[in-house]
């Protein structure tokens, strides 16, 4: 028997939710939904009220993540999940994070409006504290949902703006430090997790496409505190051959790595390399001194673990070559980073097929930014992501997502959450 | 008639003067002889007492420069002059500046000890305030001696450490603002000026030579506030082709100019290029952001005006090329600088010949740092300089000048101050 047509997401509801979210969190310079603060809580409260008005189930875990569930026919079957975070950076935009929760709510509202029941539970998660500007911890909310944080240490973290502990902010949001971080989700009870998010780069804008099917979340290697160390010297009196010029060394190093990047990208590798901070020492530098030291911050990201390993080796090799050539020392310092999170190949294929079937122009795209979806993937849950085109980047009040693009992304999400109902044109 | 043998400088006196200077100005972290302050004044007082004990003439101009003169046979003939500054940077060394005054005093003392009278007056000048760390003005003392400063403006300059005006400090040194900056020296009354100074770079140390004959004082072009301006962007989400990366642009620019420098130096040009300050904006940069701006400070020095002009054009050309390639803007900003000061060819030849005749190993060398000699040269006075080997650079307490090297430099100075008496071995 052919299943009935998949219900369309309720885009009118989505528009209302975005407007209300904006009104609740506009603070003069932008959108501020502070983690475990008034801004984030207002967003959670709005989603709870909306869920209740749609007669959906509402649950909250010890970490204060929110779960809105449309019960399915077989409640014992593993559920499918979607969702994203409801916090924002300070003076950020209205769509980063919230779009994923709103899209999920629009999908569930579509089912309710059509009076249909899905074959299994479908859950929208409102994740806490994804933006680590507030509390210096990656994926605090989603890791907490899996019971994968050191609760005592995390509860003691001070929030960057107030200096008050997470425990203190948690209590104000109705939470209880005693149950904070207790496992709520069980990987074997989740059939898949698909997150919709605005694209934070310009790839879809430049390609002229409304949505992207995410192939993976780039992993990173980082040397946040690398340095080149030479010798301070008189800028007029010390000849080229006698210099140990840290600035020259850093420039040659960055230029060499830039050539490596170009070569690897031409060979089809997924790779971005950023030297986001580069500074001589303000306490010592002067226009009339050869610089004796410079701080260099490196962030290398790729979908491919082997590319990260190769670039890491190149960093060491180029540093050694240029140390020799420019007579300086390179000290790369502590390496941090994260492993790439690969999206599920079946979900990628389903999303691509659904886009084709529905006439939605789409492309495959890597996610350079981290997302809660990475935590689900790392827990072995088949995971996918949908990017919606967004102009002017994210983390700023100028985020610009077109509601037509969002509607296409939400339709793809609906298909991904109920893969047993085949995609078909309207 | 062959003139008698040129008297040898009194190196014993020089040693005593250096020791006393050191005792008078050691402040715990180094040598501090503050311009128009106690440290500099103590040095002037020491030279005055020494001059009086040698029955030399002492004069002080309105700028409080000191002149010690050994009267010659023909007092109406133009004099020959030597000297240097008696101030130091804060926590500096004992020889930068003072060595030139002490060498002059040793030469005059040698004449007194031999009971001989030179054919013309020979004057040692103790110059005020050459180190512009105290008052932000280049060659304050020597320009004041020629009446070439805007006295009212200069008197109002605050000293960097006290914040008090030069006028206030001048009064404490026995000066009078009413006569400050009045012309004392007349170029047509000076046959030549020869300054002895420690080398501030490592060239003589590396060459294993005790003295250098200076060919000129490098001129400079400076862009102290150049910038590359791109666009801040997410380090993970924005691909290579879409970036406007200010750090990458600055690195490519510095690397390109470095290649130009290598090429010009290989072609025999005199040139040093320094990017002494290079900094992304601490208020905006982050490890996870492509840098949208970077400040770049450039200092280019050469003996050759045409090389400065050529490098200036190269800076503009490379900036334009890389702006195009890296999709950023370069803003070079205000250009400042100084013209090269060429040393007199006859004096260079005499010094080289004298070194040969006396068996003093010497080489020709450019001065990368500025010296009061530049002011004399710019006033059309035949000017020369002698560098004495010095380890560990200048402007720090570790300056290390060997008294044997100094003695050789002082002998050359004696010849340069009485060129009509031919150089000959002892």
Q: Are residues B256 and B175 in the same domain?
A: no
Alpha helices in A327-383 (DSSP H): 345-358, 373-378
List the single residue in A236, A280, A369 with the smallest CB-CB distance to B236.
A369
In a domain, A1, yes or no: no
Average pLDDT of B302-328?
97
Residue A416 — very low, low, confident or very high, per pLDDT cuts 50/70/90?
very high
Confidence check on the interface: ipTM exceeds 0.90, yes or no: no
Are residues A237 and A379 located together in one domain of the fold? no
In a domain, B143, yes or no: yes
Rounded to an integer, what distance in angstroms lies between the CA atom of residue A275 and that of residue A256?
A: 13
Within-domain flag for A368: yes
Q: A129 with A87: CB under 8 angstroms?
A: yes
Residues A387, A331 share a domain: no
Whether residue B1 is contained in a domain is answered as no
- The predicted pLDDT at position A425 comes to 53
State the residue range of the domain holding B306. Answer: 222-338
pLDDT over 70 percentage in chain A = 98
| Closest alpha carbon within chain B to A243 | B202
Q: Which of B281, B307, B338 is at the close of a domain?
A: B338
CATH number where A244 lies: 3.30.70.360
Measured CA to CA in angstroms, residue A15 lies from A9, A118, A178, B197 at distances of 12, 24, 38, 77
Domain count, chain A: 2
Q: Considering B290, B321, B338, which residue would you say is the last residue of a domain?
A: B338
B398 contacts chain A (CB < 8 A): no
Q: Taking CB atoms and an 8 Å cutoff, what residues of chain A touch B237?
A: 199-201, 203, 367-369, 393-394
- Cross-chain residue pair B202–A242, CB shorter than 8 Å: yes
Per residue in A183-197, pLDDT (tens digit) is 999 999 999 999 999
Predicted local confidence at residue B421, as pLDDT? 85
Residues of B in contact with A289 (CB under 8 A): 274, 276
- Pairwise CB contact (< 8 Å): A367 & B236: yes
What φ, ψ does residue B382 adopt, rounded to 5°? -55, 125
Which CATH number covers residue A132? 3.40.630.10
Beta-sheet pairing, B122-127 with B289-290? unpaired
In this model, does residue A1 exceed pLDDT 50? Answer: no
Q: Among A282, A310, A338, where does a domain finish?
A: A338
pLDDT value of residue B423: 59
Are B329 and B242 found together in one domain?
yes
CA atoms lying within 13 Å on the CB side of residue B339 = 8
Task: Tell me the average pLDDT across A368-393.
Answer: 96
Whether the CB of A318 is below 8 Å from some CB of chain B: the reply is: no
Based on the fold, state whether residues B362 and B299 are members of the same structural domain. Answer: no
Residue of B nearest to A259 (CA): B252
Query: Is residue A305 one of the residues assigned to a domain?
Result: yes
**Are B233 and B273 contained in the same domain?**
yes
pLDDT in tens, B106-162: 999 999 999 999 999 999 999 999 998 899 888 999 999 999 999 999 999 999 999
Q: Left, alpha or beta for A139 (phi > 0: left; psi -120 to 50: alpha)?
A: left
pLDDT at A141 over 60: yes
Tell me whether residues B276 and A272 touch, CB distance under 8 A. Answer: no
Q: Are residues A319 and A363 in the same domain?
A: no
pLDDT one-digit tens code per residue, B241-268: 999 999 999 999 999 999 999 999 999 9
DSSP-derived secondary structure for B164-222: -BHHHHHHHTT--TTTTT-----GGGEEEEEEEEE-SSSHHHHHT-SEEEEEEE-EEEE
| pLDDT > 60? residue B1 | no
Q: Is A370 on the interface with B (CB under 8 A)?
A: yes
Q: Is residue B168 part of a domain?
A: yes
CB-CB neighbors (< 8 A) of B218 in chain A: 236
Å from B1 to nearest chain A CA?
Answer: 44
Do A203 and A345 fall within a single domain? Answer: yes
Please indicate, yes or no, whether residues B130 and B272 belong to a single structural domain of this protein.
no
Measure the CA angle with vertex B319, ends B313 and B322; round to 5°. 140
Tell me the count of A-B CB pairs closer than 8 A. Answer: 199
Distance from CA of B256 to the nearest CA of A (A): 9
Q: List the one residue out of A128, A132, A125, A78 whose CA is nearest residue A102.
A: A125
A391 neighbourhood in chain B, CB within 8 Å: none
* Same-domain check for residues B16 and B47: yes
Claim to verify: residue A154 and residue A228 sit in the same structural domain? no
Computed on alpha carbons and rounded to an integer, the radius of gyration of chain B in Å comes to 24
**pLDDT of B190-224, one tens digit each?**
999 999 999 999 999 999 999 999 999 999 999 99
Q: B279: which chain A residues are within 8 Å (Cβ-Cβ)? A: 278-280, 282
Token digits of residue A159 = 């929030």
Q: Are residues A304 and A334 in the same domain?
A: yes
Q: Are B131 and B31 in contact (CB under 8 A)?
A: no
What is the rounded average pLDDT of the residues B74-87?
Answer: 98
| Chain A residues closer than 8 Å to B367 by CB | 236-237
Q: Tell me, yes or no, whether A426 lies in a domain.
A: no
Cβ within 8 Å, pair A252-B252: no
Determine the 3-state secondary structure of A391 from DSSP.
strand
On chain A, the residues whose CB falls within 8 A of the CB of B280 are 276-279
Residue A75 within a domain:
yes
Rounded CA-CA distance B179/B346 in Å is: 36
């Amino acid at each position: 028997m052919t299943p009935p047509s998949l219900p369309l997401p309720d885009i009118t509801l989505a528009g209302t939710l975005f407007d209300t979210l904006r009104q609740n969190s506009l603070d003069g310079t932008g959108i501020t939904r502070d983690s475990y603060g008034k801004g984030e809580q207002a967003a959670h409260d709005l989603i709870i009220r909306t869920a209740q008005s749609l007669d959906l189930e509402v649950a909250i875990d010890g970490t204060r993540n929110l779960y809105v569930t449309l019960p399915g026919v077989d409640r014992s079957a593993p559920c499918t999940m979607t969702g994203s975070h409801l916090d924002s950076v300070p003076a950020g935009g209205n769509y980063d994070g919230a779009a994923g929760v709103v899209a999920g709510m629009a999908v569930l509202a579509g089912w309710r409006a059509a009076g249909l029941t899905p074959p299994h539970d479908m859950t929208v998660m409102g994740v806490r504290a994804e933006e680590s500007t507030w509390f210096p911890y990656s994926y605090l909310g989603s890791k907490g949902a899996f019971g994968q944080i050191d609760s005592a240490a995390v509860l003691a973290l001070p929030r960057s703006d107030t200096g008050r502990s997470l425990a203190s902010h948690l209590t104000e949001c109705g939470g209880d430090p005693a149950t904070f971080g207790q496992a709520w989700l069980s990987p074997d009870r989740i059939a898949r997790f698909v997150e919709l998010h605005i694209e934070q780069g310009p790839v879809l804008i430049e390609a002229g496409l409304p949505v992207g099917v995410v192939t993976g979340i780039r992993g990173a290697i980082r040397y946040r505190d690398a340095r080149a160390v030479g010798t301070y010297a008189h800028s007029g009196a010390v000849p080229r051959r006698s210099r140990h010029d840290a600035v020259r060394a850093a420039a040659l190093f960055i230029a060499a790595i830039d050539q490596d990047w170009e070569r690897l990208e031409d060979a089809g590798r997924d790779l971005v390399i950023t030297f986001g901070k580069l500074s001589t020492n303000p306490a010592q530098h002067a226009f009339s001194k050869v610089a004796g030291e410079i701080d260099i911050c490196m962030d290398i990201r790729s979908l491919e673990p082997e590319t990260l390993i190769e670039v890491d080796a190149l960093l060491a090799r180029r540093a050694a070559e240029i140390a020799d050539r420019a007579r300086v020392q390179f000290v790369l310092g502590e390496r941090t980073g994260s492993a790439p999170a690969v999206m599920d190949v079946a979900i990628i294929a389903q999303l691509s097929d659904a886009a084709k079937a529905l006439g939605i122009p789409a492309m495959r795209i890597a996610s350079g930014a981290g997302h809660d979806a990475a935590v689900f993937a790392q827990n072995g849950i088949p995971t996918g992501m949908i990017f919606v085109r967004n102009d002017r980047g994210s983390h700023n009040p100028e985020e610009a997502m077109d509601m037509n693009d969002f509607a296409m992304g939400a339709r793809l999400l609906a298909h991904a959450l109920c893969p047993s109902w085949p995609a078909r044109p309207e």
